[in-house]
Amino acid sequence: MKGKNDAGNMEIKLKAVEMEIDSLNILYDIVTIYLGEKSVPMFKQKKLTIYAKIIQQFNVMQINNAHQVASFWSQIIANPNIKAADDGGVE
């Protein structure tokens, strides 16, 4: 009798495990759909927004640097010694 009882218990446990596997597969599908439709697009949008702000700040820095370089060379060219050298000699 003990053998039949053990076999019955094993069958019940096996069915419970099969049901749990089915439930986990359904949960896996639900999580996959949720991630694909909700979480990933929101994450992607946030990262794209941050990236756009970083690129915009980089562009502003580059423009400022270009202005500083242009101002530097303008001052160099305006230097009287440089003008005199350009005219053919230093006075």
- In the chain, DSSP finds a helix count (H) and a strand count (E) of 3, 0
Which two structure tokens, joined as six digits, stand for 2? 């003990």
Domain ranges across the chain: 2-87
The predicted pLDDT at position 86 comes to 67
pTM over 0.75, yes/no: no
Q: What angle do CA 69, 73, 78 make, to 5 degrees?
A: 145
Rounded alpha-carbon distances, angstroms, from residue 51 to 3, 35, 54, 60, 64: 66, 22, 5, 14, 20
Which of the four pLDDT bands, split at 50, 70 and 90, describes residue 3?
Answer: low
Report pLDDT digits (tens) over 11-38: 999 999 999 999 999 999 999 999 999 9
**Contact partners, residue 91, CB within 8 Å, separation at least 6:** 84
Which two structure tokens, joined as six digits, stand for 10? 């094993």
Report pLDDT digits (tens) over 31-81: 999 999 999 999 999 999 999 999 999 999 999 999 999 999 999 988 888
